[in-house]
Every structure is written in structure tokens, then in C-alpha cells.
């Protein structure tokens, strides 16, 4: 099943839109006090960056736990009908301006 997005006045496959995407800048994490003890110091350190977080996990043999959520199931959609709905919604928004 293909996902579509609206770019430059056209509806295109999301995979094509991703290929056109520019640079993304993700801000660093806020400092936090670790829940686990660092083997080097025997204390819970303050982690101030993604690099510190990664090094802390590696140095102590810890692993991040990310719960797996079930993948949502979607009904099949007629692509032409979807495109018509998106265009109608876009036109409605443009008329309100």
C-alpha cells in the first residue's frame, strides 16, 4: 500500500517526497539524571547529550528498551478517491483565506 503526500501543488508517493527532503536538524536532548548507576563512578550521572547517553549505555553494557507497538491496520483506499478528497480539502482551505 502506497502512502501519498501533498507537495508543490501535487499529490505524490511519500517515498518520492522523502527523496526530495532537505537537511533535518534535530535538537539535542535535555540533560537528565540517569536511572542506572555508572560502573566508572558508582553514582547516577547527569547525561547532557545524545553522545553522553550513547557512551553511558555502551560503557555500562546497558541497552535501551523501546516497547514495540502493534502496527495499525488500514483499510484499502481508492487512490483516485483519496486524491479527490485531498484536493477538495485543499480548495476549501484556500477559499477560506
pLDDT digits (tens, 9 = 90+) for 32-58: 999 999 998 999 999 999 999 999 999
Predicted confidence at residue 78, as pLDDT, reads: 84
Q: Is residue 44 part of a domain?
A: yes
Total-model pTM: 0.47
Q: Is residue 38 part of a domain?
A: yes
Segment 60-81 mean pLDDT: 83
In contact, 22 and 28? CB cutoff 8 Å: no
Q: Is residue 18 part of a domain?
A: no
Residues of the domain holding 80: 4-11+23-63+72-96
Q: Is residue 82 part of a domain?
A: yes
Q: Is residue 16 part of a domain?
A: no
Which triple of cell numbers denotes residue 37?
548507576
Predicted confidence at residue 18, as pLDDT, reads: 66
Give the list of residues 6+ apart from residue 41 with CB closer than 8 angstroms, or none: none
Q: How many CA atoms lie within 13 A of 92 on its CB side?
A: 6
Segment 60-76 mean pLDDT: 83
Q: How many domains does the chain have?
A: 1
Residue 76 pLDDT > 90 = no
Amino acid at each position: 500500500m502506497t502512502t501519498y503526500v501533498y507537495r508543490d501543488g501535487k499529490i505524490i508517493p511519500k517515498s518520492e517526497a522523502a527523496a526530495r527532503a532537505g537537511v533535518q536538524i534535530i535538537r539535542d536532548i535535555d540533560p537528565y539524571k540517569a536511572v542506572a548507576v555508572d560502573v566508572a563512578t558508582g553514582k547516577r550521572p547527569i547525561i547532557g547529550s545524545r553522545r553522553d547517553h550513547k557512551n553511558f549505555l555502551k560503557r555500562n553494557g546497558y541497552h535501551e528498551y523501546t516497547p514495540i507497538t502493534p502496527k495499525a491496520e488500514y483499510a484499502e483506499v481508492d487512490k483516485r478517491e483519496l486524491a479527490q478528497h485531498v484536493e477538495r480539502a485543499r480548495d476549501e482551505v484556500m477559499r477560506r483565506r
